[in-house]
Chains A and B, each alone.
Chain A
């Protein structure tokens, strides 16, 4: 397994991201009601010439946040979407989850078109936004239960999955406290549990580990890796390139709204003759700056 042999550097410490298979995904999948249709698609996300332009008051204020990108994410794949700040990563996610309408182009999420089938898409996806979005006056548990109810899960399932997820991500002890008093790391974990409560097929994780201390971050990354074993499709954006290298099956590098390259970390490292993905990232995005594109 790729995970077994790859060593990554976190906070200047070489650590082994190994035995990833041994981290059991201990949560029994939630049996969805029959009315939630799952088209049998091998491609989870199919982005087709997607564009998003934000019009400013003057023409020079216009921003091409996403400029005609196309790519596919296979079912069960852990897909890294990398790029510098303002590259268009979050805008792409927001289009895919139905929060923004594209200027042009389209995308299919598990076969459903973002222009026509948003309600079906929303049943299938879990979203972990960049900034923790939780109700501060509610306890951790109440926050999770609310989102379970929004997905119309049976009460018993909500309770069972809430408890298991809280235990898995080490948040059980704080779960009855108001989330107002949570640390930044705890809020991010709660943020992720909320995204997972309804056992989504496709998970969008937007910078899920920013602000976490190294220990919690590592645990979270192990958890994300374990989700792959239960065939979840994970669409991940991150600034931690070394972790993307360790975890992702394939990565896409985006800058100024354009897709610069796509492939497995190994393929890209070979192609750009670099020892690590960070070198690839710097070569691709740095070269663009030098060329003045």
Chain B
């Protein structure tokens, strides 16, 4: 892996994202609109719901959403012959996938920041210090690795960017319903226990509730998210290298 290539490819990826109106909407405006909508809908005390409890789920959801954009971006490269062209240069697959990870983690962090800042006016008040905030962002960065991996798996299966959009919901919906901002019942918890977003949201909720950063609950969640995310990204890379990089 060469730094010059990594930086050039990551820069290209970010420029592509921010210059394409549809991607820009999906990446930054959509999480912003989602936060504002949820903020207006659920921050009213009359409802008896706490927006504080919902906000961590929104952070995780912002990261989950990059599954769709990652898969679209890979399939588009393939459709436009750019993947072949890039593969005809000395670029290695490590350079290429590494740059995708870097750019998408940056995008995910921007999304989390947007959600975080927009949640504050609706009464979201994280009860933690700067260390807790940094840990929460680090956890989201690691969690977004799993989204890049799932995006790669989607891009491997999908033949076109249109199909990729639809297929990505196979991974987005379960994570959304069983692990982010929607309430979990004793039944749905059984499913949620195998879904990484559940652990990511649980850890962030604990951090923002003021729990000590070294409690078993946070450490276990952190370990689960890290192990699963690394496993998913490795599977995604292997599948994409073998079947999707054509």
Residues of A at the B interface (CB closer than 8 Å) are: 94, 97-99, 119, 122-123, 125, 127, 129, 131, 133-138, 142, 145-147, 149-152, 178, 194
Cβ-defined contact, B90 with A131, below 8 A: no
Residue on B nearest A132 in the bound complex, by CB: B81
The reply to whether the CB of B242 lies closer than 8 angstroms to some CB of chain A is no
> B174 → chain A, closest Cβ, in Å?
32
Contact (Cβ within 8 A) A151 B89: yes
Q: Is the CB of B90 within 8 A of A147?
A: no
A122 and B80 CA atoms in complex are apart in Å by 21
For the complex with contacts A146-B8, A152-B4, 4 further pairs of A-B residues with Cβ separation under 8 Å are A119-B90, A136-B80, A149-B8, A150-B5
**B: contact size bracket:** 20 to 34
Query: Is the pair A97, B88 in contact by a Cβ cutoff of 8 Å?
Result: yes
* CB pairs A–B below 8 angstroms (14 shown): A98-B87, A122-B88, A122-B89, A133-B80, A133-B81, A137-B16, A137-B19, A138-B15, A142-B12, A150-B5, A150-B91, A150-B95, A151-B89, A178-B19
* Contact of A135 with B88 at beta-carbon distance under 8 Å, contacts A146-B8, A150-B8, A152-B4 already known: no
Known contacts being A146-B12, A149-B8, is A129 close to B85, with CB within 8 Å? yes
Considering the chains assembled together, what is the distance between the CA atoms of A149 and B90 in angstroms? 10
B20 within 8 A of A: yes
CA A290 to CA B208, docked complex, whole Å: 80
- Residues in A whose Cβ lies below 8 Å from that of B89: 122, 147, 150-151
The smallest beta-carbon distance between A54 and chain B, in angstroms, is: 12
Please name the residue on chain B nearest to A124 by beta carbon.
B90
CA–CA, A133 to B85, complex, Å?
7
B33 at the interface (CB under 8 A from A): no
Which A residues touch B88, using CB under 8 A?
Answer: 97-99, 122, 125, 127
Q: Count the A-B residue pairs with Cβ separation under 8 angstroms: how many?
A: 64
Is B84 interfacial (CB-CB < 8 Å)? yes
B220 at the interface (CB under 8 A from A): no
> How far is it, in angstroms, between the C-alpha of A84 and the C-alpha of B212 when the chains are bound?
72
**Chain A residue contacts of B5, Cβ below 8 A:** 149-150, 152
Q: Which of A97, A122, A129, A194 contacts B81 (CB under 8 A)?
A: A129
3 closest pairs, A vs B, by CB? A149-B8, A133-B81, A133-B85
Q: Which residues of A contact B91 (CB under 8 A)?
A: 150
The answer for the CA separation of A122 and B88 in the assembled complex, in Å, is 6
Provide the residues of chain B in CB contact with A98, threshold 8 Å: 87-88
Most buried by A among B5, B12, B80: B12
Residues in A with CB closer than 8 Å to B7 are 149
Across the interface, name the chain B residue whose C-beta is closest to A180: B19
Contact with A along B1-25 (1 / 0, CB 8 A): 0101101110010011001100000
Do residues B2 and A152 form an inter-chain contact, with CB atoms below 8 A?
yes
Q: Shortest beta-carbon distance, B14 to chain A, in Å?
A: 11
**Which residues 65-92 in B have Cβ within 8 Å of A in the complex?**
80-82, 84-91
Residues of B contacting A136 in the complex (Cβ-Cβ under 8 angstroms): 80
Contacting pair A99 B84 (CB below 8 A): yes
Chain A residues in 8 Å Cβ range of B84: 94, 99, 129, 133
Q: Which of B7, B15, B88 is the most central at the interface, judged by chain A CB atoms within 10 Å of its CB?
A: B88
